[in-house]
């Protein structure tokens, strides 16, 4: 029998890739996109027609509990990705992050409890803050360094509490710095690529020293699917990362090399994050994902990152001017 899935945030970067992957894996997929007056479906508009035509696309808002209950009808599993994710914006509008990331998650969990659906909940490596020890295992202390991270800690704990208190089947997946085609220009890899497409002579970034553990989106969504299929993941938090780190400065140089340019890499004061909020180091321990999910990243290490960057640069180049947007104004 076909397994029915609801993907919240299906119009977003990871969500659209996940919806496509689930169709390929034989799921029946209801794709929830954020309602807008223009009727846009986000990145699902870029999905191949044969996939788009199989999706049950619904528009709504996870902040509406009655809507969420209706959206969950007939669903076996909900992959919950809908969230406000921009870290800089969370400094300006933290209340919005509580409303969407915490209250919205509560509405998803209540609806799942009502219909008996499994929840694969999306966390973020930002909840760890700057690494106190490496590699970062799931037992690493949680230390929010932005309102965004704090809201995700709250959402994660709500999800786990519903498993412990009410027996809702919940698995929490914690991606480390996913990148790839369709990612927003506010993220570091797209902003580097887009700046170089606009002007190959220079890149302006924030702090260059912090390190990140970068996972290609195809590997991340494979981890989500594995989390649904693994009974051992119930009630657990599982990191999805490669176990390889690179500094922002070295990453910019690597992308420039891939694009065949030699820019000046500048640290711009306007792009530096608020004092105390910059996460200086992220490096995942992904052994639990291997043990519980049977998941390992297909692209890992320096060679894997090079291959992932090559495909990502190719995607942005193919989009040309349409991809440029307002990349120059984003802080990363």
- Domains, the chain, in order of start with CATH, read 4-177+215-240 (3.40.50.720), 179-212+244-282+299-329 (3.90.25.10)
Cβ atoms of 250 and 306 within 8 Å: the answer is no
Catalytic residue among 97, 128, 148, 179: 148
Cβ atoms of 209 and 263 within 8 Å: the answer is no
Q: Which two tokens stand for residue 229?
A: 């299929």
Q: What's the rounded Cα separation, in Å, for the pair 148 and 168?
A: 25
pLDDT 10s digit of each residue in the chain, 332 long? 799 999 999 999 999 999 999 999 999 999 999 999 999 999 999 999 999 999 999 999 999 999 999 999 999 999 999 999 989 899 999 999 999 999 999 999 999 999 999 999 999 999 999 999 999 999 999 999 999 999 999 999 999 999 999 999 999 999 999 999 999 998 999 999 999 999 999 999 988 999 999 999 999 999 999 999 999 999 999 999 999 999 999 999 999 999 999 999 988 877 777 777 789 999 999 999 999 999 999 999 999 999 999 999 999 999 875 655 544 444 43
Q: What's the rounded Cα separation, in Å, for the pair 233 and 28?
A: 22
**128 is an active site residue:** no
What 317-323 contacts at long range (C-beta under 8 Å, 24+ apart), as own/partner pairs, is: 317/197, 320/197, 323/185, 323/194, 323/197
Q: What one-character DSSP code corresponds to residue 300?
A: -
Cβ atoms of 267 and 278 within 8 Å: the answer is no
Q: How many helices (H) and strands (E) does the chain have?
A: 12, 13
């Amino acid at each position: 029998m076909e397994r029915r899935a609801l993907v919240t945030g299906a119009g977003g970067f990871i969500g659209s890739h996940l919806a496509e992957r689930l169709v390929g894996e034989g799921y029946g997929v209801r794709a929830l996109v954020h309602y807008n007056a223009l009727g846009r479906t986000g990145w699902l508009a870029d999905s191949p027609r044969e996939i788009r035509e199989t999706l049950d696309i619904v528009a709504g808002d996870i902040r509406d509990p009655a809507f969420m209950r209706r959206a969950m009808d007939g669903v076996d599993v909900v992959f919950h990705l809908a969230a406000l994710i921009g870290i800089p914006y969370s400094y300006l509008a933290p209340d919005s992050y509580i409303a969407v990331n915490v209250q919205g998650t509560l509405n998803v969990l209540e609806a799942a409890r009502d219909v008996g659906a499994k929840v694969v909940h999306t966390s973020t490596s930002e909840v760890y803050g700057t690494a106190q020890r490496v590699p970062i295992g799931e037992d690493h202390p949680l230390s929010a360094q932005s309102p965004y991270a704090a809201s995700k800690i709250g959402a994660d704990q709500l999800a786990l509490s519903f498993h412990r208190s009410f027996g809702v089947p919940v698995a929490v997946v914690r991606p480390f710095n996913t990148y790839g085609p369709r990612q927003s220009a506010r993220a570091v890899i797209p902003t580097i690529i887009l700046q170089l497409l606009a002007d190959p002579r220079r890149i302006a970034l924030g702090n260059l020293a912090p390190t990140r553990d970068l996972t290609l989106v195809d590997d991340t969504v494979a981890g989500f699917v594995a989390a649904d299929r693994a009974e051992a993941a119930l009630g657990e938090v599982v990191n999805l990362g490669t176990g390889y780190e690179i500094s922002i400065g070295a990453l910019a140089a690597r992308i420039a090399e891939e694009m065949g340019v030699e820019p000046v890499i500048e640290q711009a004061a306007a792009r530096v994050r608020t004092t105390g909020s910059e996460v200086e180091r992220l490096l995942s321990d992904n052994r639990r994902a291997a043990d519980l999910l049977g998941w390992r990243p297909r692209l890992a290490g320096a060679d894997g990152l090079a291959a992932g960057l090559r495909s990502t640069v190719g995607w942005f180049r193919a989009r040309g001017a349409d991809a440029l947007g307002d990349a120059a104004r984003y802080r990363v």
